[in-house]
Amino acid sequence: MMSSSLLLYDSAFLVVAFLATVVFIPPCSGFAGAGRYHLPFVRQLSDGHFSGSNWYSVLHSTKQNENDGREELLCAAVLVPGFLTGAAEFQPLCQTLTERGLPTVAVPMPNWHWIPCLGGRSARPILERIDFTVKHLIANDGDVTKIPKFDYSLWDTWIDFRNNPGGILQVGGSSRVDDYPVVEPRGKFPPPENLPNKKVALIGHSAGGWISRVYLSTREYGGKAYCGSNYIHSLITLGTPHGDAPGPAFEGVKWINAEEVPVRALSVAGTGFKGGDWGRLTQGSYSFCCPEGSDGTGYDGDGVTPAFSSLAMPGSEQLLVEDVSHFCWSDVFGGSLFAPELTEDHKSGRAWYGTDEIVDQWASFVLDHVPQCKIRLEKIDIVV
């Protein structure tokens, strides 16, 4: 049996590592978390396509997810915040995407709603919020201003934290997803009165990306299958750790990696931050996301997630962008304390996933595909 001191150490390490993997708590001016492929090709966007575009590589997946005509693809998106972040921190990016022709709403939750998931516990509390937001966005025909609030109290938080299964403490008896006991998350998430046959896009950063994949699955996760592929036409993940790694925090990732993503999907990764060159947070984060025995120094990535892990979503297309950081560190309260090297680098002007020209690159994955988006772009006079 694990000693109490070792258990305490592992729990503390897990929390710190998750902070490294999925960002802190920011009011920031932007977006704050394999399979078999055809041969890769490299292309460059023309000067007239998007300003500031960089070279990047895309590996085309064998997965085809064309609209069969039975549902309408809405030009609207739900953004899933990374661990310990909430809707308020993502409002600037939602506005940026809306101005680019993709109306976007962040899952309406504050950052403290992540507390029940601390220690690698079940993600079902977050899945309930994703499901609520997606369905209400569809019911309101993609109007991002009409997502209602839901009820969730501090008492609900405590009960969920105490009962939520899995993780390093093995709440419910196991850290394995298939052995999770069925525990319904607290809170009131009233469904919409009607749900038309329409679909929206889903965007997840860091941990929000792999949790979005669980939402798409038809398999039961902790007693419930969300079947989100019935409501989602496209998925984009930014700096998400998709690769298998040891430890209870990656049990959910391992579980969802047993299947290919069932919708059109784009996994986005950044490079330019070698594990041995960017301080303890980067090296520790890479080690946390890597196979057992690695110290993280031999990997390249966005400063938090190694590139190979960000691109390891089975069945997805891939976008690799050079010299892009995981987050807007200098806009984060406490960024200089937790990630001094990354904070100084961002302050000097380094791009990250939420920088305008980088947003243009990955947002085009939806804008170029959905007919309603093309019509909207024409109306607001944006050339794609």
The pLDDT value given to residue 372? 86
The pLDDT value given to residue 10? 37
Report residue 255 CA to chain centroid gap.
16
Residues 2 and 175: their CA atoms lie apart, in Å, by 14
Partner residues linked to 37 by β-bridges? 61
Q: Residue 81 in contact with residue 32, Cβ under 8 Å? A: yes
Tokens 């057992």: give the residue.
Answer: 292
Angle at 205 between CA 269 and CA 215, to 5 degrees: 115
Q: What is the pTM of this model?
A: 0.82
> pLDDT truncated to tens, each residue of the chain (384 aa)?
333 333 333 333 344 334 433 333 333 333 233 222 222 222 222 233 222 333 333 433 334 445 555 689 999 999 999 888 889 888 888 989 999 999 999 999 999 999 999 999 999 999 999 999 999 999 999 999 999 999 999 999 999 999 999 999 999 999 999 999 999 999 999 999 999 999 999 999 999 999 999 999 999 999 999 999 999 999 999 999 999 999 999 999 999 999 999 999 999 999 999 999 988 989 999 999 998 878 999 999 999 999 999 999 999 999 999 999 888 777 766 777 878 888 788 788 888 888 888 999 999 999 999 988 887 676 655 544
Query: What are 216's two structure tokens?
Result: 């798409």
The pLDDT value given to residue 68? 52
Q: Residue 376 in contact with residue 350, Cβ under 8 Å? A: no
The pLDDT value given to residue 192? 96
3-state secondary structure of 264: strand
Q: Residue 276 in contact with residue 283, Cβ under 8 Å? A: yes
Residues 34 and 287: their CA atoms lie apart, in Å, by 20
**With DSSP H G I counted as helix, E B as strand and the rest as coil, what are the percentages for the chain, rounded to 5?**
40, 15, 45
Phi-psi sector, 120: left (phi>0), alpha (psi -120 to 50), beta: left
CB atoms within 10 A of CB 47: 9
Continuous H helices in the chain: 4-22, 87-99, 124-139, 154-163, 207-216, 251-256, 279-289, 307-310, 335-338, 340-347, 356-367, 371-379
Indicate the DSSP class of residue 259. Answer: S
Residues 289 and 72: their CA atoms lie apart, in Å, by 37
Question: In sequence order, which residues have a C-beta less than 8 Å from that of residue 113 and are 6 or more positions away?
Answer: 86, 125, 126, 129, 152, 157
The pLDDT value given to residue 52? 30
Residues 142 and 57: their CA atoms lie apart, in Å, by 31
The pLDDT value given to residue 345? 80
The pLDDT value given to residue 379? 63
Q: Give just the sign of the alpha carbon dihedral 225, 136, 377, 98.
A: negative
Closest of 259, 242, 228 to residue 78, by C-alpha: 228
The pLDDT value given to residue 375? 78
